[in-house]
Structure 1
Amino acid sequence: MLAEIISIGDEIVSGQRLDTNSQWLSRELGHLGIQTRYHTTVGDNLSANIEVLRTAAERADWVICSGGLGPTLDDLTRQAISEAFARPLELDSRVLEHIRGLFARRSREMPERNIVQAMFPRGTIVIPNPHGSAPGIDLRVPVGNRESRIIALPGVPAEMKDMWYRTVTTRLESTLDQSCGRLFFQEVKLFGIGESDVEARLPTLIARDRNPTVGITVSQATITLRIAARASSESDFQKSIAPTLSEIRDELGGLVFAEGPLELQDVVLNLLQQRRQTLATLELGAASWLGNWLLHANHQDETCVGCLAFGTLNRARDYWLTSSDPNSTEEETYCCLASELRQRTKASMALVIGIYPHEAELKNVTSGSFDFQFAIADSASAHFETRKMGGAPDVLGPRVAKTGLDFLRHYLLGIAQQ
């Protein structure tokens, strides 16, 4: 079973509003075992709507539309479906009474224009909308020797989701071959390696014709491998992907930091919590990525005792190291900062990261990379390393912060960084 999702509205194609409906619908279809093959976005133009509807019906078993069911002249979905499949619009008196009742309960008179929301292409099974004036459309249309099913829902996310759960899911499930199972997903998250390097080390894993399939995405320097397979249950799915997970673990080892939805900061905080340890952090320069993440993570009240930031190394040194030697090496300075931070905050561990460049530096740099410093201190010792990193401004900051977190993760686990 293949699906296509159509998002309708000028506000979507113009970029004024983010299309979150398509993402949500794709995920829900996947849970039912229906693969979404296409996403289409179209503006409020009747001929364009007719064209994309016909194209979608030709290539998909399920066509799920969101938007364009309002009462105004630019709400064209019902008319487009009507003309695309030669199904004249017909008035549903029961739906009209429901809409009139909605207005009456709000002590308002229904405008005549809202009558159009009670009109449906012939053959439609109405999808009730308990909370709004835009019922949905459920219509089967013949396409050659098969049929395609058109589902049209309002663009308002709350109404769309409520109608999906109340009505659409049940209707879809009743037509599916349950023996095929549903689609399950498992994420494996990596840090410290590039996308092309992952593919080079696991050359057969990303092949599109394998089962289970493995997709690869990158977000703010984190690599996510997304394993997908059909199964009748979660336990059967886990059994089917076990060899794939083993291959990933064996080849990538410590580069894997999570199997599931956890982010790197969550993993580090969990490790600290398991050890009943606490953490203090100090970031230098023009950003505080790490502090922001930690202060929003679940365990920060118990585990993270302080997230500090200073604009320059000199200011941090003057504040924390009142008797520092001006001839100290960079490594000595950072290790002293980490040790002093740990002692003053009474934390088990301290992490210092420096120095996030300012925007002007990012624009003017010619080499394309900067040197960054990282120091960790616990009650026994301090450890330092320096890394050269570059990249786009919106990626460099997160990469630096995650490098510090990964340095700490490897230290806590007692494993060497790759």
Structure 2
Amino acid sequence: MNTFGTPRRVLVRGEGVYVWDADGRRYLDLLGGIAVNVLGHAHPTLTAAISAQLGTLGHVSNFFATPTQVALAERLVELTGGDRTSRVFFANSGTEANEAAFKMARRTGRPRVLALEGAFHGRTMGALALTHKVAYREPFEPLPAGVEFLPFGDSHALERAMGQDVAALVLEPVQGEAGVRRLPPGYLAHARALTERYGALLVLDEVQTGMGRTGHWLAHHDADLGGGARPDVVTLAKGLGGGFPIGAVVAHGERAASLLGAGQHGTTFGGNPVAAAAALATIGVLERDGVLEQVCAVGEQLVADLQQVPAVAEVRAAGLLVAVELHRPVAARVADLALEAGFVVNPVTPTALRLAPPLIITTEQLRTFVAFLEQLPAELAALDHDQEEQ
């Protein structure tokens, strides 16, 4: 239906941090399926876990439980800092996870939901109502009502907006779609204090930033970013299954965990044993191989290398979620040049490229992209010259 435009390439194979197209050309995957393929492509542990589970039990519906589903729920409660009061709902994607969180907010009986300017929470109607970008919203209005957008990172605006009629405050600790913008230090801690004071839910969308992307299991575990705040609700997806579709909502505390009752929400495929096995395998590899520590080291070196590139005006990063801000609004043209040179990147704004590579990538592999950027001014000058002659 042309919802994604013309495909840039037809990709037929992947291995590690590389993919190949139908013509046999190799590309360094610096987008990772938009922060999904945290273990790269065709990781042997992940593929073995999926194959073994599918060969044993593939799908049973949610009238039944499976050992992998229960084990994954327990692991997610542990990784998100929960306790015996915590509960988990499994979905198939990030937008579905956020849709469930929105329904939880509705169940409080309060009419207002607060989100931030620049927010992106998904494309289904409820998640879209939480998403700020006008171009995404307008074709589908009227959207579910009651959502208000506050200036990004403005604690005073948040304090003025908060009240007893607020059901939930929904935040991304790091906004990915807006160009990798971190919430200011202290903002989340202030948000936690305000939501507790007024009895509102604090919902953290960690769909893109969770599962080690920032060098922590969750972005808000970063002391500078989270300030020790524990949310009432966390949404996860993308990297959770290492490339296999799965989303999750983790609710902490008896109030949040009991908002959705029997028959009030559901999914056919969510939490199926194959997806749960994929997620357990992904978590296991991230732990076994010390990937989170590697993300911190490799991410810091990448930022240092990018800051030396003349074409780069600014680098914004949280682990291996990186925005490369250019001096000119040429991000789309640079992404085209990068693809021709064998690099997959995302022009997330007119002036910025988003990088979200597999978490197993090395500094040496990333430096090949840095070298591409170093010769970029000459490439752009040649491109400008060709356009002037035409």
Structure ranking higher in strand proportion? 1
Higher relative contact order (CA 8 A, sep 6+): 2
So what's the TM-score if we normalise by structure 2? 0.30
Larger Rg: 1
